[in-house]
Amino acid sequence: TVLDVPRGSHRITISVIGAKAVLIRPFFSSPKQAAEPMVSITPIEAARSVTVSEGEKLIPYYSVLRGKPVKFRIVGPTRLELTTRLDFVATMRGVQAYRISVSKGGQRIRVAELKTTKATTAAYTDLKDRTASKTDRIVLPLGDGTHEIVVELLEPKTGSAEVHARIPQPSVGREE
């Protein structure tokens, strides 16, 4: 049974009829917050761009190749969300591991050790010899100022991954 309880302090009493005891597992959750509008970021440097078709949407991704990172310039403060996908080739099966490095100003700030499988609902429209993986997310808070963010593929040694960057939509004008 789900109880929709309004904001405030409440006392709830539960009684049992027809049994000596019952197991109760209460779950508490906050109301769903409205999704924050996000905007995509185009890199200042990338080896290539590819398009992922997922449902009715076409989403631009940028290739992270071994020795050819993707570079972004972001003005903070903001939160950077990187969505990554490993490129599967015909010989890859099952769960695959990959490592992504994120650097800021020449300093490595995050190494993500990720595992993924082939996506069932997403496909590359312009990479016919590759299959998209399911997505992984890396979220980074960025402080005031301009940030040069570099995304590199550390593993696998041969292969490629794709990255799509987003930030919360900046507000325009004065905030009251």
Q: Report residue 35's pLDDT band, with 50, 70 and 90 as the boundaries.
A: confident
Taking only the tens place, the pLDDT of each residue in 110-168 is: 999 999 999 999 999 998 889 999 999 999 999 999 999 999 999 998 899 999 999 99
Pick the more confident residue, 158 or 109: 109
Map the chain to HEC letters: CCCCCCCCCCCCCCCCCCCCCCCCCCCCCCCCCCCCCEEEECCCECCCEEEEEECCEEEEEEEEECCECEEEEEEEEEEEEEEEEEEECCCCCCCEEEEEEEEECCEEEEEEEEEECECCCEEECCCCCCEEECCEEEEEEEEEEEEEEEEEEEECCCCEEEEEEEEECCCCCCCC
Taking only the tens place, the pLDDT of each residue in 61-81 is: 999 998 999 999 999 999 999
With pLDDT > 90 as the criterion, what percentage of the chain qualifies?
68
